[in-house]
Amino acid sequence: MRLPGNVARAAHLPAEQMVRVTVGDDGITITPLPDAAPTLAQRLARFDPARHGGEAMAADPVGAEKW
């Protein structure tokens, strides 16, 4: 369920926070769910090769690194 931004901010809920919505006789209760560790499939689905791919420290050799 997507909450309006002003409601999420008032409840101090970060973006993408999973919540449980309970409807009772006295109103609606929104409870944040604990963060579950993402599965490998979920982590791989979020992987962006354009952002995370390539060499981490691409630089010319310096000092003793030069041959």
DSSP string, 15-34: TT--EEEEEETTEEEEEEPP
Cβ 10 vs Cβ 30: under 8 Å: no
- Which comes out higher in pLDDT, residue 46 or 57? 46
Residues 6+ apart with CB under 8 A from 38: 46
Segment 4-49, tens digit of pLDDT: 889 899 989 988 888 999 999 999 999 998 877 889 998 999 888 8
Residue 44 phi/psi, 5° resolution?
A: -65, -35
Q: Supply the pTM of this predicted model.
A: 0.44
Token pair, residue 23, equals 């409807």
